[in-house]
């Protein structure tokens, strides 16, 4: 990736963004991110139009991209759990070509069901867009939990 797209000092205090940084740092088993700023850790999640143009339209996701997708849905599951008080579990199934599905389960209830395609180009235009899209999913999940509480608690 080119230069960082997140300006130092950008407000990274939103609950989802904080959790996203936690999840990305957690997948760093070699301590590479230990001395990195939160902006630098989060930077690969941001795909500006210029960065997106550098990625081929057709391609297979590498393990780093798949790890980022898992971190994203893990962060969403944590936010659902924080807001609902019920354990949320993400499940991701991807083909080697980058197509699949992401689910978040609470009890016996599927609260998020997203089709995934072209995941080798997974990312968001800005940090704000990353936060907005994730919090929309969290809000919809919470609405589903309230509607079907018995299944969520089962």
How far apart are the C-alpha atoms of 30 and 104, rounded to whole Å? Answer: 28
Strand partners, 88: 106
The answer to whether residue 3 scores a pLDDT higher than 70 is no
When divided into structural domains, the chain yields a total of 1
CA distance 6 to 100: 29
Model confidence at 60: pLDDT above 90: no
Model confidence at 7, pLDDT cuts 50, 70, 90, reads low
* Domain assignment of residue 9, yes or no: no
- Pull the structure tokens for residue 53: 């143009």
CATH number at residue 131: 1.10.3100.20
Q: Which residue has the tokens 């599905």?
A: 101
pLDDT band at 5 (very low <50, low <70, confident <90, very high): low
Tell me, what's the pLDDT at 2?
45
Residue 9: strand, helix, or coil = coil
Residue 22 is assigned to a structural domain of this protein: yes
For all residues of the chain together, what is the average pLDDT? Answer: 91
> Do 119 and 94 meet the contact criterion of CB atoms below 8 Å apart?
yes
Between 6 and 8, the higher pLDDT residue: 6
Reported confidence tier of residue 8, pLDDT bands at 50, 70, 90: low
Q: Does residue 7 belong to any structural domain of this protein?
A: no
Residue 117 per-residue DSSP state: -
Residue 94 has pLDDT above 80, yes or no: yes
Radius of gyration of the chain (CA): 16
User: Is 80 domain-assigned?
Assistant: yes
- Percent of the chain at pLDDT > 70 equals 93
**Rounded-to-integer distance, Cα 144 and Cα 38, Å:** 32
Residue 130 within a domain: yes
Let me know if residue 133 belongs to a domain.
Answer: yes
85, 91 in Cβ contact below 8 A?
Answer: no
Claim: this prediction has a pTM higher than 0.85: yes
- Give residue 85's domain range: 15-153
Is 3 within the bounds of a domain?
no
Q: Does a structural domain hold residue 5?
A: no
Give φ, ψ of 126 to 5 degrees. Answer: -145, 170
Distant-in-sequence, close-in-space partners of 97: CB < 8 Å, separation ≥ 6:
60
- In this prediction, residue 1 has a pLDDT band, given cuts at 50, 70 and 90, of very low
């Amino acid at each position: 990736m080119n230069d960082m797209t997140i300006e130092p000092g950008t407000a990274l205090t939103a609950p989802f963004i904080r959790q996203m940084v936690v999840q990305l740092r957690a997948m760093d088993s070699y301590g590479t991110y230990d001395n990195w700023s939160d902006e630098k850790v989060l930077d690969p999640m941001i795909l500006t139009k210029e960065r997106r143009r550098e990625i081929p339209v057709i391609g297979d996701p590498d393990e780093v991209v798949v790890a980022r997708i898992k971190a994203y849905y893990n962060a969403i599951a944590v936010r659902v759990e924080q807001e609902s008080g019920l354990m949320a579990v993400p499940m991701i199934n991807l083909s080697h070509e980058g197509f699949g599905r992401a689910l978040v389960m609470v009890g016996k209830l599927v609260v998020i069901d997203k089709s995934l395609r072209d995941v080798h180009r997974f990312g968001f235009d800005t940090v704000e867009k990353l936060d907005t899209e994730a919090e929309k999913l969290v809000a919809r999940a919470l609405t589903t939990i309230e509607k079907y509480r018995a299944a969520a608690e089962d």
